[in-house]
Amino acid sequence: MRARDLAVEFPTVTLDTPALEAARLLADRDLPGLILIGDDGLPHSILPGTQVLRLAVPAYCQDDPALARVVDEAHADRFLHRLDGRTVRQCLPEEPRELPVAGPQATVLELASLMARTHSPLVAVVAGKRLIGAVTLQSLLDHALQL
């Protein structure tokens, strides 16, 4: 089994998508993460669900979650409002990350290695200059457990 056989269509967002809309897509469709398409039509970033939270969580809280305690409950509940009126591009952290992207020939073990290494329950499958779909952790495990 190769990546091309396991890849399924997957919703994408662009860097100009409103950040709140991206968070809503993740929640409403119960996705393991988001594929952000860059201006060249290829994956610019792949954000595991936990890293979508990083768009909204202040950096000082990520460095030390105990600091989040100084924010009162009412404001803490509304932390996603930091995304209001901002695009995904405006919320993305600066540092580049290793992208969980594989070619269509990648084996199940390659996909699993990439997921483990990048902490991403989602790998984008790219053939040449085209995104052909994504492999999720769930579909990978479902396949591997049958054998």
Q: Which residues bind a copy of itself (CB under 8 A)?
A: 1-2, 23-24, 26-27, 30, 32, 48-51, 53-54, 56-57, 61-63, 65-66, 68-69, 71, 73, 75-81, 107-110, 112-121, 137-138, 141-145, 147
CB of 39 to a copy of itself, least distance (A): 26
Distance between CA atoms of residues 8 and 88, nearest Å: 24
- Of 1 and 39, nearer to a copy of itself (C-beta) is 1
CB of 24 to a copy of itself, least distance (A): 6
CB of 81 to a copy of itself, least distance (A): 8
What strands lie across the sheet with 43-48, from one edge to the other? Answer: 12-14, 33-37, 43-48
Q: Could you tell me if 126 and 105 are in contact, meaning their C-beta atoms sit under 8 angstroms apart?
A: no
CB of 100 to a copy of itself, least distance (A): 9
User: CB-based contacts of 75: which residues, under 8 Å, 6+ apart?
Assistant: none
- Of 8 and 76, nearer to a copy of itself (C-beta) is 76
Q: Which of 140, 145, 98 is nearest to 122 (CA)?
A: 140
Query: Structure tokens of 112?
Result: 């699993």
